[in-house]
Chain A
Amino acid sequence: MPDDDRIPRSLTAPWKRVLRSLKNRRPAQETADAVTSALAATIRSVRGVPDLPGIAARMQEAAASGEVVQSRLPGSGGAQRHVPTDVAERAAAGFAATMRYELALSSPPQAALLLAKKVIAGLAYHYGFDRIGPVLAAEGAYNTRELQEQFAEILDSDQVSKLAKMWLAKPSGEGLRAPARLQRVRHSLEDMVNTPIADLL
């Protein structure tokens, strides 16, 4: 029964920037960048999920065993104390229960990346989106569906995908930064006219 349910709504500074960006209806790209930065900062401050590769391995084992999976995989004791580990354990359990076939066909690095992306999304919702969304909807600035779609779009972006790969290389999150966006270099018309075609190939 919902009985004195606690619904966290406080935001850290990087997520407050995301909130401001959405409130001010800044360009989508700018909001997406703020989200990627907030995610990198969150992963650093929560010290990542050091056992992420281990959880991914247990996810594949659980999927292969064909046994009934509960919301946490066997051996998930650390999840109780550390929210990001809990997010990872729950995501792994969800995959193990519903995507047995796909996981059987995945290599361990592929499975780990699949999980890393899902955990990044989980952290985005836990520390940011699901605290921001209802606030913005309550203010009437956005409707719920519009926000949920926008959040899903941001999490599907290349930037977030790159962040997941970078994180996987160092699951403790130490030193993790948002990936640099490729800047479009503006060439002058003269440069473009005078550049030999062979140089462009």
Chain B
Amino acid sequence: MTVDQSVPRATAQLIVPGDPPRPVEFGHRVVLDGKAVTRRLARELPPIAADLIEIATTVYVADQMAARPSRRELDEGVSWARDLSLEIAVRMPDVWNAHAAGLSELLEWLTDDTRGLTFTQRMGRRGPLDVSQGFLFDTIPHGAAPVLFSGGLDSAAGLATWLAKTEAVAVSVDTNNWMQHVQQRVLSGLNAVSAHTCVPLRYRVSTHGQKHPAESTQRSRGLLFLAVGIATAWTLGHDQLQVFENGVGAVNLPYTLAQFRSQASKAMHPKTIRMAQKLASAISGRPFRIDAPGMKLTKAQLIQMAPPAADGALASSVSCDTGFSARVPRHAPCGTCTSCILRRQSLHSAGKAHLATGAGYRTSSLEGSFAFQTMLWQVSRLRACLDSEDPWRDLVLQYPELLDTSPLTPTEVIGLYRSYVQEWDDFPEALQIGRAAAL
């Protein structure tokens, strides 16, 4: 990789073939704020942990700076993958250069992009996660387990179930005040009704001067979430992280076969978790485990496990693809994106449809909804596979990505999708859309 020496050595440089290198600077393009975490922990993040979060943030920002191929190119057979190279200044370049291939591989899986990563020594500058203040004492309950918390329905339901048994430290990232507010609202709701408490540890990542970023897909966001979880776990002295995501959502099979790879996002896919676990273990030199206890459950089943007392907190979570956007008037969820529909379907199947009634969807009718039809399209296809003589064979021939779902066994995968398909049986009727028209 050639680096233009005339560009000031910023935090990082993004290089896209055919374009001049562009700087990615903390404090300029991106703000990463971990003060809320370091204050609460009363300690600095270890250098390797701070590096991990800063690298993931840099990748997340750079991800939005280069456009994916145009529609015309896609029609000619080109995929949406990009070639991106990043040179990032870190505290421990030797460690990161030794693991650059593993990190690139994980990013390629999450984003489809080829990513050349080079790490250099950070010279004479403090990073956004370096703290100059003194500390008093930490307020983290001893032994509280780090859990990743997004403010979505799965993480709220999983955390509610977890807090019935033991304490937790909820690690989250927010990108705007509304997202922060939602996360705080859900956590307060859970703390008010749970047997055990949850301490929030919140990072802020926001971008400047990118009102209309060159690329909006943000597939590297999955790395950012996992990175803050892993890095915070390391800081707490844990080698384990909990993530709460249902199996159908985590595997996220394409709704239609028109989708290419990560167009169906893979942030919490079993393979993502496997790769992140392997990478974290290799970097730290100690085995690191990411537990995903909801992986064998549908979203409805995950919700059903949560104590009824947590219903209010669950209702205040947000699932919508645009629900955290600061630009949506009154922040109302759209009601018609696949995330909103899945939320509505799962609440209905879990017998908690009443939790969706106060959601204030911008559009509640699914008549004529393309997204809804793509979900029915997938359900119909899954049903045909599951009804065949050899469901596993037919599922794999239809969705070869199921070969990547280890540690789930074929029997577990079949069971998961049987439950999911069954849950859809009466959902169209619940929306007053005739089954004949729907299926």
* Chain A residue nearest to B150 in the complex (CB): A1
A5 touches B338 (CB 8 A): yes
With a cutoff of 8 Å between Cβ atoms, the chain A residues found around residue B436 in the complex are 143
The reply on A8 being an interface residue by CB < 8 A is yes
Across the interface, do B381 and A148 meet the contact criterion of CB distance under 8 Å? Answer: yes
Task: Indicate whether B81 reaches chain A with its CB closer than 8 angstroms.
Answer: yes
User: Is A69 located at the chain interface by the 8 A CB criterion?
Assistant: yes
Contact yes or no, B371 A148, CB < 8 A: no
Tell me the smallest distance from the CB of B251 to a CB of chain A, in Å.
Answer: 10
CA distance A84 to B154 in the complex (A): 35
Contacting residues, chain A, for B381 (C-beta < 8 A): 148
Q: List, in ascending order, chain B residues with CB within 8 A of A98's CB.
A: 390, 392-393, 396-397
Question: Looking at chain B, what size class is its interface with the partner chain?
Answer: 35 or more
In the complex the two chains form, is B258's CB within 8 Å of A130's CB?
Answer: yes
- In the complex, chain B residues 392-429 whose Cβ is within 8 Å of any chain A Cβ: 392-393, 396-398, 400-404
* Interchain CA distance A164-B268 in the complex, whole Å: 37
Knowing A70-B403, A94-B400, A143-B438, say if A137 contacts B256 (CB, 8 Å). no
Assuming the A-B contacts A1-B245, A144-B438, A148-B381, are A7 and B259 also in contact, with contact meaning beta carbons closer than 8 angstroms in the complex? Answer: yes
Q: A1-B265, A45-B75, A93-B400 given as contacts; is B439 within 8 A of A145 (CB)?
A: yes
Taking the complex as formed, is B249 at the interface, i.e. its CB lies under 8 A from any CB of chain A? yes
Tell me whether B255 and A7 are in contact (CB under 8 A): yes
Bound-state Cα–Cα, A135 to B265, Å? 22
Nearest neighbor of B113 in chain A, beta-carbon distance: A80
Task: Produce 1/0 per residue, A49-69, CB < 8 A to B.
Answer: 000000000000000000001
Are A134 and B218 neighbours in the complex by a CB distance under 8 Å? no
Q: Which one of B152, B376, B398 has the greatest number of beta carbons of chain A within 10 Å?
A: B376
Asked if A127 is an interface residue, CB under 8 A from chain B, the answer is yes
Q: Which of B75, B114, B263, B438 is close to A5, meaning CB atoms less than 8 Å apart?
A: B263
Residues from chain B with a CB closer than 8 A to the CB of A17 are none
A4 within 8 A of partner (CB): yes
> Of A1, A84, A94, A125, which one neighbours B397 at CB under 8 angstroms?
A94
- Whether A82 sits at the interface, judged by CB under 8 Å, is yes
Residues of A within 8 A of B42 (CB): none
Q: Tell me whether A184 is interfacial, beta carbon within 8 Å.
A: no
B197 CB within 8 Å of chain A: no
Q: Which of A4, A8, A97 contacts B217 (CB under 8 A)?
A: A4
The reply to whether the CB of B79 lies closer than 8 angstroms to some CB of chain A is yes
- State whether the Cβ of A133 lies closer than 8 Å to any Cβ in chain B: yes
Interface contact A46-B77, CB-CB below 8 Å: yes
Are B81 and A122 in touch, CB under 8 angstroms?
A: no
With A86-B260, A137-B373, A137-B377 in contact, is A1–B249 under 8 Å at CB?
yes
* B91: min CB distance to chain A, Å: 31
Is residue B369 contacting chain A, with contact meaning CB distance below 8 A? yes
Chain A residues near B258: list those with CB within 8 A: 7-9, 125-127, 130-131
Q: Is the C-beta of A12 less than 8 angstroms from some C-beta in chain B?
A: yes
CB distance from B272 to the nearest CB of A (A): 11
On chain A, the residues within 8 Å of B263 by CB distance are: 5-8
Q: Is B305 an interface residue (CB 8 A)?
A: no
Chain B 240-264: CB-based contact to A (< 8 A → 1; otherwise 0): 0000010001101001111111011
Q: What distance in Å separates the Cβ of A140 from its nearest Cβ neighbour in chain B?
A: 6
A134 contacts B252, C-beta separation under 8 Å: no
Residue numbers of A with Cβ under 8 A of B are 1-10, 12, 45-47, 69-71, 80-84, 86, 90-91, 93-95, 97-99, 118, 122, 125-127, 129-131, 133-135, 137-140, 143-145, 148
Give 14 CB contacts A-B under 8 Å. Answer: A3-B221, A4-B265, A4-B321, A70-B403, A71-B402, A81-B78, A122-B257, A131-B258, A138-B368, A138-B372, A143-B438, A143-B439, A144-B377, A148-B377
Q: What 10 pairs between A and B have smallest CB-CB spacing?
A: A46-B77, A130-B256, A134-B373, A125-B257, A94-B400, A98-B393, A6-B263, A90-B400, A1-B249, A130-B258
